[in-house]
Amino acid sequence: MDCTVGKTIQSRDKLNGPRDFVARQFDIEELDEMTWRNRVIEIARCISIGVPFSKACHHYDVAPDKVRKYLMKHQEISVLIASAEDIAIDDVEEALYQAAVGGNTSAQIFFLKNRRPARWSDKQHHEHTLTLANQLEGELKLLEADKVHDDDGENRREDEVDQPIKVLSRQAG
C-alpha cells in the first residue's frame, strides 16, 4: 500500500464512509508482529513527507490509539516515528529558508522573528524589579528632602519650623 498525500486518502474516506472505515480498522491482537512493524514503518514514512499521524494511521486501516499502544510496547519503533516527524519539520524549515532568501518578505519576517526573537520581535521585553530595600531607600530620600536644619544642627521638618514662626507672629500682632 502506498502512502500518498491528498486525493487517495480523501477518496477512500468518501467511498467507504467513516463507519465502514472504523469497522475495518485492525486491532493489535489481529495482526502478527511483522505486519504491525511493517504498518508502523509505513506510517512513519507517511509522517516523514508531512502526512499527519492520525491521517497516516487511518490510511493503513489502523486506529491512532492502537498505534500509540503498540509504540508504548516497542520503544525502538517509536523513535522511528519521532525521527519521521523531525524529517518533515526539517523539510519545512528548509522550504521556509529558501522562500526567505528567495525574496519572500513574509517568510523573511517569520524566519527572523523565530530565529532571533530578541533582535526582531515586535515586542520589547523590559524587566523591572523593585525590592523592598529599593522602595525603602526611595522613601528615606523623600523624607530627607523634607527635613530642614535649625540653628542647633537638629533636623526638623518644614512644618515644624513654620509652627514657631506662626506662634511668634500671633504674639507680636
pLDDT in tens, 95-105: 999 999 998 99
Predicted pLDDT of residue 21: 38
Report whether pLDDT(153) > 70: no
CB 89 within 8 A of CB 51: no
Predicted pLDDT of residue 2: 58
pTM above 0.85, yes or no: no
Predicted pLDDT of residue 136: 77
**Percentage with pLDDT > 90 across the chain:** 36
CA atoms of 81 and 47, how far apart (whole Å)? 7
Residues 6 or more apart whose CB falls under 8 angstroms from that of 101 comprise: none
* Residue 157 backbone dihedrals phi, psi, to 5 degrees: -75, 155
3-state secondary structure of 11: helix
CA atoms of 160 and 148, how far apart (whole Å)? 9
pLDDT-derived band at 171, boundaries 50, 70, 90: low
Q: For 53-97, what is each residue's pLDDT tens digit?
A: 999 999 998 899 999 999 999 888 889 999 999 999 999 999 999
Predicted pLDDT of residue 36: 85
Predicted pLDDT of residue 111: 92
CA atoms of 122 and 89, how far apart (whole Å)? 25
